[in-house]
Amino acid sequence: MSENLVTLYAKQYASNIELLAQRMSVLQDTVTVGAHNGDKASPVDQVGSLEMKQVTDRFAAITPQAAPTARRWVVPTAWDCAQLVDKFDKLKMMKDPDSALVQTAALAKARKWDDLIINAFFSAAYTGAEGTATTAFTAGNVVGVAHGAAAATGLTVAKLRKAKQLAIANHYNPQFEQLYCVINSIQHDNLLAEAQVTSLDFNDKPVLVDGLVTRFLGINFKICEGLQTGTDDAAGTSRAVPVYTKGGMHLGKWDDPEPDVSQRKDLKLHPWQIYQQMIGGATRTDETKVFKIWCRE
């Protein structure tokens, strides 16, 4: 009977985890997501642009053009998380989506999916027919740390305007794509200090929602504390803030199984173990749709 109860609890736990993890993840809904298998996967084949050629001769032969193509790859990594429960009755907490067991596991899972996306924004991306070559982040897609100022600054309206200008220059069309920007608490505070962001003198409607900046200049802001730091263009240490469209990033999921619930006979008092794993990876899929803003903190 107890084994059957554990099975029921495990299914309910898995369901609660999946629902909460999806809701707690900040970035999954801003990128494309796919299910994959194998040691790596190619979520997209890139096709470059063509230019129309003027016709100058009547009845001339047609000269075909070959669009430049490239293949982008995502490589998975594996992660796991285990919780030990010392009393059988505590397994009942797995049925409660508000319990500490469920909340802790869901947060860990959601953060890791977001971490994979963040790590892929500016990393070298695997390319080529077999994914053996790499493509570095485009240097021209970077907004400098002192842009619009005499010295290095945090996040400013001038930097956001420059990032959007770069996006538009790369054929970003707001009618078809949303533009996203991931910021942490410090960059959010930078924006609160910008009069152009918070004052109705510059906006036709309030920008703040519950005291948070959610959208400005047509850019949707996502707050996440996992942003990476690096050496900026002024040889200092800054936070790398990404601005991107959904078509520029991909999250691949290889394995996202239900948690395994079993009794640890190898440990004293035979506690129950709740074990879960996840396998996935992320990559840039389009160099023209991802941009970097250097921000000092």
The owner of tokens 């001339």 is 60
- Among 160, 117, 115, which Cα is nearest to 249's? 117
pLDDT of amino acid 1: 42
- Strand (E) or helix (H) holding 197: helix 195-198
Specify which residues 261 forms β-bridges with.
274
pTM score, two decimals?
A: 0.83
Residues of the chain with pLDDT under 70: 1-10, 14, 18-19, 21-23, 44-50, 66-69, 88-89, 91, 94-95, 97-98, 200-201, 204, 206, 256-258
Asked if 143 and 293 touch (Cβ cutoff 8 Å), the reply is yes
The two three-digit tokens of residue 149, written as one number: 């100022």
Q: Each residue of 269-292: pLDDT tens digit?
A: 888 888 888 999 999 999 999 999
Which class does domain 2-46+69-131+250-283 fall in? alpha beta
- Among 163, 200, 199, 167, which Cα is nearest to 183's? 163
Asked if 171 and 288 touch (Cβ cutoff 8 Å), the reply is yes
pLDDT of amino acid 36: 85
Give 192's contacts (C-beta < 8 A, 6+ positions apart).
198, 213
Question: Between the CA of residue 104 and those of 12, 92, 160, 190, what are the distances in Å?
Answer: 15, 15, 35, 30
In whole angstroms, give the CA distance from residue 227 to residue 203.
Answer: 28
pLDDT of amino acid 8: 66
Asked if 274 and 134 touch (Cβ cutoff 8 Å), the reply is no
